[in-house]
Amino acid sequence: MGGVALAYGGDAAGWWDAEWFVVIPIVVLGLFLASVTGIIAYAVRRRRGARGIAPADDRTAQGTASG
């Protein structure tokens, strides 16, 4: 959405003339990049889980007396 703000901000400042349909490719590109990021993050998490590596924030109390 930053690209849309930049496009219309430049139009408001008088630097260029942005038509209304300029938003469509910017939003589509942003959604595409967001989906690629999500797919990569999912693949990394899945691979990490398949190798049996626990996440860094998964700390269990080991060596403590229970009960």
DSSP string, the chain: -HHHHHHHHHHHHTS----GGGHHHHHHHHHHHHHHHHHHHHHHHHHHHHTTPPPTT-----S----
* Integer Cα distance of 22 and 44 in angstroms: 34
Tens digit of each residue's pLDDT (9 = 90 or more) over 15-65: 888 888 888 888 899 899 999 999 999 999 887 776 666 666 655 555 556
On whether the pTM is more than 0.85, the answer is no
Of residues 57 and 13, the one with the higher pLDDT is 13
